[in-house]
Amino acid sequence: MQLFVVGLILLVVKRTGGSLVKKITAVRGSDVWIECTFDAARMRQDEPVWWLHCENSNCIEIQHFIGGVDQLQDRAASRRGRVYPDKLREGNASLFIENVQMSDEGLYKCTVVLRERPDTKISVLTVLASSEPPQLTEALDTRSFTCSSRNGFPPALVTWTGGSGMNYTPDSVTQHTLNPEGLYDVVSKLTRRFTEEETVCCTVWNQPLQEHKTNCMRVTPGQETDAQHSMTATLIPVALFILACCVAFMIYRYHYKGRPNLARIRKRIFSCSNHMVIVLIGRPHHGMPSVINSCVFAYKAEKHFENLAGADKKLPHYAQPEEVPLTEHITITRALLQPEDRFWTSEREAYLDKWRRKEQSHRLCFVFVHSCIDKLTATTKDEIQKLFEDVKSVTGSYPFTALTMKNFGTADELKPFFKYLGSKRVFSFRNYTIHDYKRSAKRDEEFLDFMIACIDEAVDTKSETVPLIEDN
Ligand SMILES: Nc1nc2c(ncn2[C@@H]2O[C@H](COP(=O)(O)OP(=O)(O)OP(=O)(O)O)[C@@H](O)[C@H]2O)c(=O)[nH]1
Ligand SMILES: *[C@@H]1O[C@H](CO)[C@@H](O)[C@H](O)[C@H]1NC(C)=O
């Protein structure tokens, strides 16, 4: 359209003025002379010299001199181009434009009044713009390359080539956009999967300027071109590694005594400030000394195993010592019953008396200890029930149950019976013994949980004794 209008003007000018039209091409940003010279001898010095700049048939006066005096002084700042007044006398009215821009394009008319008549010289200025060096980037997800270059005129052509001389242009799509400066920005996208290492080059061409600018990049297949695969190929091992670390860390936490919850439990036991006695009740060979040893060993994480409660001792050292200290405030003791059938009936008065007195000054937690190896006969069951009721008459609640030697018998078969009798908690242990005291966090934890339950029970029972008795 623009060219068509300019052409129309050219035709009109040609017919009326009959002058030659000069074509000037300039590169944007350069300085340009638009020549306009006359035969000085024929020139009338007192008559005006003027320049018009026409764009799409819209003409603006840009220079106007009379007798070598600038008539447009007031517009000096805004108008384009400069004429040298001292050269006018020599018949030289050439216009100088510095740092030429797209807006300077168009038709230039230089008019001088000669002796006979006004004479006009016409020039057409075309401005070309050399586009900026292309930027070449790679899109990791789409296996595509983008080449972009700004500020070209006319729109730049883009070609894609490989280092081996291959022409990849057919695999590309190119788009031009006219920017506010009247220049073209170009973006070209090449989509292609490379199977071998290759150098990819993008070239932007300015045909009228006969100028090209190139940018290249190295492409490694399976890495950049196979981006999605490479992402998964790196992410999966990383994810697996992190997972393995987590699992290893959890196993580590589980197996070592450094488990923070064990340390916390030990601290809780340590900080129990009530004077408290854990009273184990049981018959010979049910493993009571081993339960005591185990509790002390589990609590004192840094200590070696010690047979403090006299496990495996035969008469006459039987059941010595009577009380084993656990912490400053807590001790563990045992009520060793007779081995015969009526193990409780024959002993109860002495024990009950002793416990009631102890109850005045201490918090007590009663635990009935029973070996998983031992069979429950009807008499045994009867005796245990009587014992449970008697304990409740002292403290207000039934004793806990600790089933020992769980690795020899089935604790699960015994549990329901003790639950039925009223035992709030039934623990089953594999005791630490002189033959088997390999410490593990899991084993420690069982005894620590047991002691915590005893502490909680003793503290609870003491404060809730009265209502519990009245309930029944
Ligand atoms: N495998 C295994 N053996 C245990 C367990 N508890 C105790 N023992 C062993 O059983 C035997 C008896 O254990 P002690 O702790 O001495 O118990 P006790 O014979 O009832 O001792 P007294 O109360 O003094 O009669 C010992 O050889 C212990 O090592 C246990 O939970 N598992
Ligand atoms: C006209 O004057 C300018 C400025 O001095 C000069 O550069 C140019 O060459 C002159 N043109 C001619 C044709 O003499």
Nearest CA residue ID for atom 12, ligand 2: 92
Dump the DSSP string for 315-342. TTSTT-SSEEE-SSSEEEEEEE--SSTT
Average pLDDT over residues 303-323: 78
Report the pLDDT value the prediction gives residue 378, as an integer from 0 to 100: 87
Is residue 80 over pLDDT 50? Answer: yes
Q: Does ligand 2 have an atom closer than 6 angstroms to the CB of 88?
A: no
Report the pLDDT value the prediction gives residue 364, as an integer from 0 to 100: 93
| 135-219 fold | Immunoglobulin-like (2.60.40)
Q: Does ligand 2 have an atom closer than 6 angstroms to the CB of 37?
A: yes
The burial class, CB within 10 Å (0-12 / 13-18 / 19+), for 132 is: middle
Could you tell me the pLDDT band of residue 3, with boundaries at 50, 70 and 90? very low
| Distance in Å, CA 374 to ligand 1 centroid | 13
Query: What is the rounded average pLDDT for all residues in the chain?
Result: 85
For the stretch 259-275, pLDDT in tens is 568 888 999 999 999 89
- Residues 123 and 108 sit within 8 Å (Cβ to Cβ): yes
Could you tell me the pLDDT band of residue 151, with boundaries at 50, 70 and 90? very high
Could you tell me the pLDDT band of residue 321, with boundaries at 50, 70 and 90? confident
Are 2-128 and 269-471 the same fold in CATH?
no
Domain ranges of the chain: 2-128, 135-219, 269-471
Q: Does ligand 2 have an atom closer than 6 angstroms to the CB of 408?
A: no
Q: How much of the chain is helix, strand and coil, in % rounded to 5?
A: 35, 30, 35
Sign of CA dihedral 251, 252, 257, 259: negative
Name the percent of the chain lying above pLDDT 70: 87
Question: Which bound ligand lies closest to the C-alpha atom of 96?
Answer: 2
More reliable by pLDDT, 21 or 346? 21
Report the pLDDT value the prediction gives residue 472, as an integer from 0 to 100: 39
| Distance in Å, CA 84 to ligand 2 centroid | 9
Q: Per mean pLDDT, which range of 15-29, 194-208, 346-360 is the poorest?
A: 15-29
Report the pLDDT value the prediction gives residue 118, as an integer from 0 to 100: 84
Could you tell me the pLDDT band of residue 228, with boundaries at 50, 70 and 90? low
Report the pLDDT value the prediction gives residue 15, as an integer from 0 to 100: 43
Average pLDDT over residues 159-183: 92
| Domain with residues 2-128, CATH architecture | Sandwich (2.60)
| 269-471 fold | Rossmann fold (3.40.50)
Report residue 274: phi and psi, to 5°.
Answer: -85, 140
Average pLDDT over residues 315-329: 78
Nearest CA residue ID for atom 16, ligand 1: 311
Report the pLDDT value the prediction gives residue 141, as an integer from 0 to 100: 65
DSSP, collapsed to helix, strand or coil, labels residue 274 as coil
The span from the CA of 123 to the CA of 225, in Å, is 52
Is residue 346 over pLDDT 50? Answer: yes
Q: Does ligand 1 have an atom closer than 6 angstroms to the CB of 370?
A: no
Report residue 266: phi and psi, to 5°.
Answer: -60, -40
| Distance in Å, CA 52 to ligand 1 centroid | 120
Is residue 147 over pLDDT 70? Answer: yes
Is residue 16 over pLDDT 80? Answer: no
For the stretch 415-462, pLDDT in tens is 999 998 999 999 999 999 988 899 999 999 999 999 999 999 888 755
Ligand 2 nearest atom to the CA of residue 94, by list position: 1
Is residue 317 over pLDDT 90? Answer: no
Report the pLDDT value the prediction gives residue 5, as an integer from 0 to 100: 39
Average pLDDT over residues 312-333: 80
Q: Does ligand 2 have an atom closer than 6 angstroms to the CB of 36?
A: no
Q: Does ligand 2 have an atom closer than 6 angstroms to the CB of 82?
A: no
